[in-house]
Structures are given as C-alpha cells and as structure tokens.
C-alpha cells in the first residue's frame, strides 16, 4: 500500500495493487486490502487488548471507591461483531486510500509468470517493476494432533471465549494473546521452550514481564516443548510436552513464529532467490535477484514490523520513481509488545550495548506507580536507560508498565536523534507521571567496564560475551542511593 501510494501520488507512477477478497482468516484465495496488520494482526489484536484491559481496571477501581451491584459480565459476540464491523470499515478505508492515490486495485490471486508479468486468476498484467509484499503466515511445528490447534488468525475470530487455553510460544504474539485471554477471564497457560519469554529482549525486562503476568493469573511452563495434542471425546484437548501432559483445554493456540508467504507465487520459476526460511533475498535497496522484481516487508524477513515495512515501501518508491536511491534505515527502531503490562523498547539491549561499546552505564528504576498505591494491586513499572560511558549517548531505553508503548514513541525520537543522558537530565519531567522517571534517573544502578584493570571487591560479577567486564553495582537504594566509589568513576 505504502509503495504504490507514494509511487502514484508523489511520483506520478502508474501503479496497481493485486489483493485477494477480504476474510478474517487468510487462505490461498482470501486476504483483503489492508493485509495482516490491519485485518489479522495489529489492529484487531489491539481492539481485543482494549476489551481485555477492563477486567484489570475493574479490579483497580475498588480502592478508588467504586462498587458494582453485580459482577461485570462480558458478551463475547458483541465484541466479535463490533470488531468485524470495524475491520469491514477499514477494508473500505484502505481501498479508498488506494483509489484516491490513483492506484488501481486488481482483485484476485496473483502469480508472477515472468520478470515483467503477473497473472491474476488467469488474466495477464505487465509492468516495468513488480513489488512482492505478501507478508508472512503463522508457522507451526509438525507434531501429532497439530490439526486441533489454532493460530493467531483464528484466535482473533473465535465464535466463543475459550474456557481454558494453552498458548505455545514466548514471543510477541504468545504474550499478547495470553494477556487478552487472561483479561477476558479464560484460564491461560503459556508454554515456552526456553527458560524465559521474549528471546532477544532485555534480560531484566524478560523476567519482569513474566513476573507481572504471573501475578495477573497466567501460568507459565518454562522449558516445556510441545510434543503432541490430543482431543478427547468431550472435545477437550490435552497438550503433551517433554515434561508431561496437561489436559482440559478448550483451545490450544500455537504462536510459534511466522514464515514468509512465498509459496506458489511463481517466484522460484522466474529466478527470485530465497533463503532457507523461504524469505526473499534482497539487496540494501530491496531489489531481488531478478532486476525488475523487488520485495519489502515480512516476506524479506528483515525487521518484521508494520512501520518498518512502511518505511521500506516508501524508500522503494523513492528509489525507483524519485531518482533518489534510498536505503531503509534500521537504526533505533522502536517496538512494543502489547502484553499486560505492555513493553516499549528502542535501541540496544544492555547485552548488545556491552558487546558493542564495552563501557556502559545502566540506570534502572523499578517502582510502584501512583495508581497502584490506592488500587492495592501488585502492579509495578520497570525502566532501564542504557548510556555509553564514553560519549554519554543514550543507546537504549526499555520499559515495561502501563502506557510503555505510548511513552517509548516519544523517547524513540530522542534515541534516534542520538541525544545524550545530559539531554535527558536537562529535560523537565511531567509531574506526576510515570514517564517523568525517564528524565529523573540521576545515579547509575551499575557501571559496566570492559577493561577495568583492578579486580577489586567492587567488581561484583562478570558478564558479556567472552570479554572480561566488571560491573560496579550501586548499593540497594534504601541503604545508600549513591554508587559505591569506582576506580575510574566520575563523581556522580
């Protein structure tokens, strides 16, 4: 959508988009203008997140004096009907956006038949350039009984609320749906094959989010890999893992990643190269191994986020039609996990920052937000700011807690602009807010030094990838909020 709209409206290119008719669950012949994000991903997911958050808010508000005559009840079909009406509306909005930009819509399934020709349900269309932006599809391991499980497409459009659901996976989708179903009062069990959820995220955020989700009633099963799913006569499902079996699930959902949707598009036949995961291999300008064929978005398996795909599409239109070769810029891409509580992050994790820069200062705040003082709930907020010790630049910010996605969007501007901790410190906080903590953290919680010569008793642990690094940890805040003196430390 982005590539065709920019190409047509900004550069006057003749552009057409080929897309299949709308359905909530995608298939080989159904999809819809708007694609995964609008119809089977970010947007409907966020609507369900909103729906599910109310139960926590009902719990919170007792401490603020609210009482209800009866327990609040949720009507599943109202939610599904309204969500689907909104999706229908969005298909119309997206279609109009294309038309208003001067883009032609060709409805049907497309197949590339030569480097300049696409066949749509048997009718041939020729073009100087072809862009493949078909995204990805849920992928599941091939284990016995996999036919009984649902994927995220189906989970967004269930006819009734799951009584008890097993969710396999510990990534974005698994955690977001765990929060949704928990908030809507299903029993939720999450099975992860690692020790922790969210591989690749900041280590402490990984622990924090799992703790907070557990406190809200989700049961995590760590280091449990699914081996089979069976269905009993009463329709209930059993999940067998390497550690045993758990039964009585009304639903089992697999959120075990997504794969590029490159099958049956004619790409191999025309010579478009793919990697071992089926992702289209592209150069820095999103050009495939066939000169006239380009690819952007999840189908290239670079950074699989909608706003990144939009950037890639815009850059591509400029490259081809604007006479301005433009590479997508992947630095400081912010992202959020709409778990409950949600996560927002931008820039490097602590582990990556140490690997890249060696000397970093880490500022951490883990606190009870004002709202929790009266709600009485065990909700907390976690924030981490990672600073390069040599340049004072903020390398990464990670947050888990209410409003983290909204807060991190603003912070991402500062990180992208390469601002320093001094810039953060010079910024006045908005009071009273959770976000103000990000500009009021004055003392590092720890200083990590790659080549600290003195292995004194201030060096309390070693971390990092085969590098000798020393960590100088602040004393616990209650006894002494200041850092212990460090060998080459600045006065803080």
Footprint of ligand NDP on this chain (CB under 6 A)?
A: 141, 168-174, 176, 192-194, 199, 225-226, 255-258, 304-305, 335-338
CB of 170 to ligand NDP, least distance (A): 4
Residue 398 or residue 449: which is nearer to ligand NDP going by CB? 398
C-alpha–C-alpha distance, residues 353 and 164, integer Å: 40
Q: Cis ω on the peptide bond leading into residue 172 (within 30° of 0)? A: no
Tell me whether residue 278 is annotated as binding: no
C-alpha–C-alpha distance, residues 257 and 60, integer Å: 34
Residue 223 or residue 451: which is nearer to ligand NDP going by CB? 223
CB of 334 to ligand NDP, least distance (A): 10
CA distances to 69, 347, 424 from 384, rounded to whole Å, are: 42, 11, 13
Q: Where are the alpha helices (DSSP H) in 284-403?
A: 306-321, 350-357, 370-375
C-alpha–C-alpha distance, residues 313 and 328, integer Å: 9
175 neighbors 199 (Cβ within 8 angstroms): no
C-alpha–C-alpha distance, residues 388 and 353, integer Å: 8
326 neighbors 285 (Cβ within 8 angstroms): yes
> What φ, ψ does residue 433 adopt, rounded to 5°?
-145, 165
How many other β-carbons are positioned within 10 Å of the β-carbon of residue 284?
11
Which residues are annotated as catalytic? Answer: 431
- Exposure string (b/e) for 321-335, b if CB count within 10 Å is 16 or more? bbeeebebeeebbbb
373 by Cβ neighbours in 10 Å (0-12 / 13-18 / 19+) ranks as exposed
Residue 138 or residue 314: which is nearer to ligand NDP going by CB? 138
Count of residues making up the chain:
492
Residue 12 or residue 141: which is nearer to ligand NDP going by CB? 141
Tell me whether residue 173 is annotated as binding: yes
Tell me whether residue 358 is annotated as binding: no
Residue 343 or residue 389: which is nearer to ligand NDP going by CB? 343
> What φ, ψ does residue 153 adopt, rounded to 5°?
-55, -50
C-alpha–C-alpha distance, residues 106 and 104, integer Å: 7
User: Among residues 490, 347, 364, which one has the least CA distance to residue 419?
Assistant: 347
CB of 174 to ligand NDP, least distance (A): 6
CB of 255 to ligand NDP, least distance (A): 5
Structure tokens at 26: 């995608």
Q: How far apart are the first and last CA of the chain?
A: 50
Tell me whether residue 41 is annotated as binding: no
User: Among residues 374, 341, 337, which one has the least CA distance to residue 215?
Assistant: 341
Residue 35 or residue 171: which is nearer to ligand NDP going by CB? 171
Tell me whether residue 170 is annotated as binding: yes
Residue nearest to ligand NDP (CB): 171
Residue 193 or residue 487: which is nearer to ligand NDP going by CB? 193
Tell me whether residue 174 is annotated as binding: yes
Tell me whether residue 464 is annotated as binding: no
- Total H helices, total E strands in the chain: 14, 23
C-alpha–C-alpha distance, residues 407 and 402, integer Å: 9
Specify which residues 446 forms β-bridges with.
362, 473
Residue 46 or residue 116: which is nearer to ligand NDP going by CB? 46
Residues annotated in a binding site: 46, 110, 169-176, 257, 298
* Residues annotated in a binding site for FAD: 46, 110, 298
Annotated binding-site ranges for NAD(+):
169-176, 257
């Amino acid at each position: 959508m982005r590539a065709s709209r920019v190409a047509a409206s900004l550069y006057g290119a003749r552009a057409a988009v080929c897309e299949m008719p709308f359905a909530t669950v995608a298939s080989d012949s159904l999809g819809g203008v708007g694609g995964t994000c609008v119809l089977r991903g970010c947007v409907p997911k966020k609507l369900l997140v909103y729906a599910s958050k109310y139960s926590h808010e009902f719990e919170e508000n007792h401490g603020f004096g609210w009482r209800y005559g009866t327990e609040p009840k949720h009507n599943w079909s109202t939610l599904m009907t309204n969500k689907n009406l909104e999706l229908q509306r969005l298909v119309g909005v997206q279609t109009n956006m294309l038309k208003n930009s001067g883009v032609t819509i060709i409805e049907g399934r497309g197949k590339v038949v030569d480097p300049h020709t696409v066949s749509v349900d048997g009718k041939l269309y020729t073009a100087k350039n072809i862009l493949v932006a078909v995204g990805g599809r849920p992928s599941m391991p091939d284990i016995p009984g996999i036919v009984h499980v649902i994927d995220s497409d189906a989970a967004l459009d269930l006819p009734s609320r799951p009584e008890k659901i097993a969710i396999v996976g510990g990534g974005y989708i698994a955690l977001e749906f765990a929060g949704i179903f928990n908030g809507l009062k299903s029993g939720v069990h999450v099975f992860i094959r690692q020790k922790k959820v969210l591989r690749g995220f900041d280590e402490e955020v990984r622990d924090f989010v799992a703790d907070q989700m557990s406190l809200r009633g989700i049961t995590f099963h760590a280091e449990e890999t699914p081996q089979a799913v069976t269905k009993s006569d009463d329709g209930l499902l059993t999940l067998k893992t390497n550690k045993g079996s758990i039964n009585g699930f009304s639903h089992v959902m697999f959120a075990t990643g997504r794969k590029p949707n490159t099958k049956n598009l004619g790409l191999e036949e025309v010579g478009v190269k793919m990697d071992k995961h089926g992702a289209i291999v592209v150069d820095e300008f999103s050009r495939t191994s066939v000169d006239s064929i380009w690819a952007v978005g999840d189908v290239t398996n670079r950074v699989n986020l909608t706003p990144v795909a939009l950037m890639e599409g815009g850059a591509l239109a400029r490259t081809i039609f604007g006479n301005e070769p433009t590479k997508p810029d992947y630095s400081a891409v912010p992202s959020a996990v709409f778990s409950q509580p949600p996560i927002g992050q931008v820039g490097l994790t602590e582990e990556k920052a140490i690997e890249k820069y060696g000397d970093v200062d880490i500022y951490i705040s883990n606190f009870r937000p004002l709202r929790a003082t009266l709600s009485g709930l065990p909700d907390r907020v976690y924030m981490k700011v990672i600073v390069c010790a040599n340049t004072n630049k903020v390398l990464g910010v990670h947050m888990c807690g209410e409003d983290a996605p909204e807060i991190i969007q603003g912070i991402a501007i500062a990180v992208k602009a390469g601002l320093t901790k001094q810039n953060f410190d010079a910024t006045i906080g908005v009071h009273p807010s959770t976000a103000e903590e990000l500009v009021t953290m004055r003392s590092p919680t720890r200083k990590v030094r790659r080549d600290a010569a003195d292995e004194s008793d201030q060096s309390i642990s070693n971390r990092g990838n085969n590098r000798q690094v020393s960590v100088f940890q602040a004393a616990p805040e209650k006894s002494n909020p200041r850092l212990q003196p460090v060998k080459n430390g600045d006065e803080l």
